[in-house]
């Protein structure tokens, strides 16, 4: 699966970092920084939790 974020939608809540710290970080303003785009099967649960918990729907996953 391919992971994308829309930093313009991010409000800096940090939920994604808590759910999947290997994929998400935050810059000095709290805005999301994507650390990796390719999501393997082992990490899919954490990333899906990040997508679900993001209050502004700034995270998308697509593909098989
Ligand atoms: S959970 Fe969403 S709003 Fe919060 S820091 Fe991550 S991308 Fe931004």
Q: What is the pLDDT along the chain (64 residues), one digit of tens a residue?
A: 999 999 999 999 999 999 999 999 999 999 999 999 999 999 999 999 999 999 999 999 998 7
One-character DSSP codes across 7-59: TTT-----HHHHH-TTTEEE-TTS-EEE--SB--GGGHHHHHHHHHH-TT--E
- What pLDDT does 64 receive? 76
Q: How far apart are CA 15 and CA 8, in angstroms?
A: 16
Question: What are the φ and ψ backbone dihedral angles of 44, each rounded to 5 degrees?
Answer: -60, -40
Instruction: Please name the residue whose Cα sits nearest to atom 2 of ligand 1.
Output: 54
CATH architecture of 2-62: 2-Layer Sandwich (3.30)
H-run or E-run covering 3:
strand 2-5
Give ligand 1 pocket residues (Cβ under 6 A). Answer: 5, 10-16, 24, 26, 32, 54-56, 58-59
Measured in Å, residue 64 CA sits from the centre of ligand 1 at: 23
């Amino acid at each position: 699966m391919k992971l994308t974020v829309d930093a313009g939608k991010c409000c800096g809540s940090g939920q994604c970092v808590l759910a999947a710290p290997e994929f998400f970080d935050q810059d000095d303003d709290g805005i999301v920084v994507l650390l990796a785009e390719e999501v393997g099967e082992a990490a899919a649960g954490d990333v899906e939790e990040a997508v679900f918990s993001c209050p502004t729907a700034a995270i998308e996953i697509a593909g098989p």
